[in-house]
Amino acid sequence: EIVLTQSPGTLSLSPGERATVSCRASQSVSSSYLAWYQQKPGQAPRLLMYGASSRATGIPDRFSGSGSGTDFTLTISRLEPEDFAVYHCQQYGSSPLTFGGGTKVEIK
């Protein structure tokens, strides 16, 4: 099973700042099959990125993803108030599907 480790656990930033979330895999993720989700309290996850760097429908371009192999990054170029949430990575290149532990982006 591929273990995904996200860092940091919590990121304290101000609106307008840049956020960088890391997702490291215990082994190479096949074909960069890595997705990112945003989750707000009491809500279901929302798909942000897939294929490591493709934005899902309706996702603003301040969100970007990069990486391959075992190291992946989600970047939010300028934080908007609605971006403060928990972010999860997920690999779908091998069975079983696995998720990272989540990174909370909170207002500083």
* Site residues, other proteins (CB under 8 A): 33, 35, 37, 43-47, 50, 56-57, 88, 90, 92, 95-102
Task: Tell me how far CA of residue 43 lies from CA of 40, 67, 98, in angstroms.
Answer: 5, 27, 20
**35 or 76: CB nearest other proteins:** 35
Nearest distance from C-beta of residue 18 to other proteins, angstroms: 24
Question: 12 or 43: whose CB is closer to other proteins?
Answer: 43
CB closer to other proteins, 52 vs 76? 52
On the question of a cis peptide bond just before residue 15, with omega within 30 degrees of 0, the verdict is no
Nearest approach, Cβ of residue 53 and other proteins (Å): 13
- Bridge partners, residue 12, by sequence: 106
Amino acid identity for residue 101 in this structure: G
Q: Which is nearer to other proteins, 76 or 100 (CB)?
A: 100
Smallest separation, CB 16 to other proteins (Å)? 28
How far is Cα 81 from Cα 69, in angstroms, rounded to an integer?
A: 32
Cα(43)–Cα(41) distance, integer angstroms: 5
